[in-house]
Amino acid sequence: MTDKVHFDRIAIIGAGLIGSSVARAVMRAGAAGTLVVSDRDEAVLSEAEKLGFAHEFTVNAREAAQDADLVVIAVPVGAMASVGVTIAPVLKAGAIVTDVGSVKEGVFKALEPLLPGNVHLIPGHPVAGTEQSGPSAGFASLFDGRWCIITPPQGVDEGALEKLTKLWEAMGSKVEIMTAQHHDLVLAITSHVPHLIAYNIVGTASDLEEVTRSEVIKYSAGGFRDFTRIAASDPTMWRDVFLNNKDAVLEMLGRFSEDLTALQRAIRWGDGDALFDLFTRTRDIRRRIIDAGQDEEAADFGRHHEE
């Protein structure tokens, strides 16, 4: 654990899975004198208030950001600019503004022109989550042992960066620093394209005429089930991800298409050696992910079953 970090007032804008988990983790770490959570959806905010994972709750993002030392924006990338317009007039000098989205260049483009020059915009991305959404889906340990990537701009205030880094460490994360452009390329292949493939496979199965939908559901344990887990993720968030990281996603999709063509050729011509070599390499990747502590080696893809 890192040295104790403390902010007098932290505002979290957005009370979904990640925003509510950040709130819970901040409370667990004792990192805020006052923690205020805002969400424009009154039903979501009411649910969050009943769960009680912050000191204050408000539908007014500007009210939440007033006098905050740290503002964490936990909304889809497409809504970033709207939040920026709302909170910019009340941000105090020296405040840190960060986010939790999985696209980083888009965050800079949305927020940098809107925020006053005397605040520190330091985007971040905790590489953690589930397919669930909403305040009830969050939990304080979501970030434990997971990576949080911070993408500071050139000339960032080192004190502000250090304080944000210590906060993520206090919430259980391991922190990595990289440029926004490199982050978006890395996440395109490790997260965005896999989600796109999952959405596409589930959509293809739904559209098949030769196989009934009931058969697809009935026999889903054959592998289809595991695609449906990530295909169940929040549609608004993922729509905005693909629209705001399209260059990197399209580049990775091009590579994927080339490799898929080679795989088709190996199957067509009965090239068992090529198939075996590929499957051996991919199995090794799975082993390395487990060894790195990014998943567990439990039967049935880590699902826990009652006796």
Same domain, 32 and 173: yes
Assess whether pLDDT exceeds 50 at residue 1: no
Q: 241, 104 in Cβ contact below 8 A?
A: no
Same domain, 140 and 214: no
Same domain, 188 and 104: no
Tell me, yes or no, whether 225 lies in a domain: yes
Tell me, yes or no, whether 301 lies in a domain: no
Tell me, yes or no, whether 286 lies in a domain: yes
> What is residue 232's predicted lDDT score, i.e. its pLDDT?
82
Q: Which of 100-114, 116-130, 274-288 has the lowest mean pLDDT?
A: 274-288
| Region 198-217 average pLDDT | 81
Tell me, yes or no, whether 228 lies in a domain: yes
Q: 87, 62 in Cβ contact below 8 A?
A: yes
For residues 275 and 264, give the distance between their C-alpha atoms in angstroms, rounded to a whole number. Answer: 10
Assess whether pLDDT exceeds 60 at residue 307: no
For 162-187, how does the pLDDT look when each residue is reduced to its tens digit (9 = 90+)?
999 999 999 999 999 999 999 999 99
Q: What token pair was written down for 12?
A: 């979290």
Q: In what order do the strands lie in the sheet with 7-13?
A: 56-58, 32-38, 7-13, 70-73, 96-99, 120-121
Tell me, yes or no, whether 88 lies in a domain: yes
Same domain, 254 and 191: yes
Say how many domains are in the chain.
2
Higher pLDDT: 205 or 56? It is 56
For residues 251 and 306, give the distance between their C-alpha atoms in angstroms, rounded to a whole number. Answer: 43
- DSSP at 220: G
| Region 291-307 average pLDDT | 59
Same domain, 146 and 271: no
For residues 55 and 36, give the distance between their C-alpha atoms in angstroms, rounded to a whole number. Answer: 6
Same domain, 92 and 127: yes
Same domain, 46 and 11: yes
Q: What token pair was written down for 274?
A: 């090529």
pTM: 0.84
Q: What is the CATH number of the domain that holds 255?
A: 1.10.3660.10
Sign of CA dihedral 30, 34, 39, 42: positive
Q: 97, 67 in Cβ contact below 8 A?
A: no
User: What is the overall mean pLDDT for the chain?
Assistant: 90
> What is residue 283's predicted lDDT score, i.e. its pLDDT?
87
- Containing structural domain, residue 158: 7-178
Tell me, yes or no, whether 304 lies in a domain: no
For residues 277 and 235, give the distance between their C-alpha atoms in angstroms, rounded to a whole number. Answer: 36
For residues 277 and 284, give the distance between their C-alpha atoms in angstroms, rounded to a whole number. Answer: 11
Q: What is the dihedral of CA 17, 23, 28, 29, to 10 degrees?
A: 120
> What is residue 207's predicted lDDT score, i.e. its pLDDT?
81
Same domain, 226 and 174: no
- The CB density around residue 252, as the number of other CB atoms within 10 Å, is 21
Same domain, 131 and 197: no
- DSSP at 277: H
- Which neighbouring-strand residues pair with 146? none
Q: Which of 191, 178, 187 has its CA nearest to residue 151?
A: 178
- The CB density around residue 115, as the number of other CB atoms within 10 Å, is 18
Same domain, 36 and 155: yes
Find the largest Cα–Cα distance for the chain. 67
Same domain, 154 and 64: yes
Residues near 34 by beta carbon (within 8 Å), at least 6 away in sequence:
8, 9, 10, 55, 56
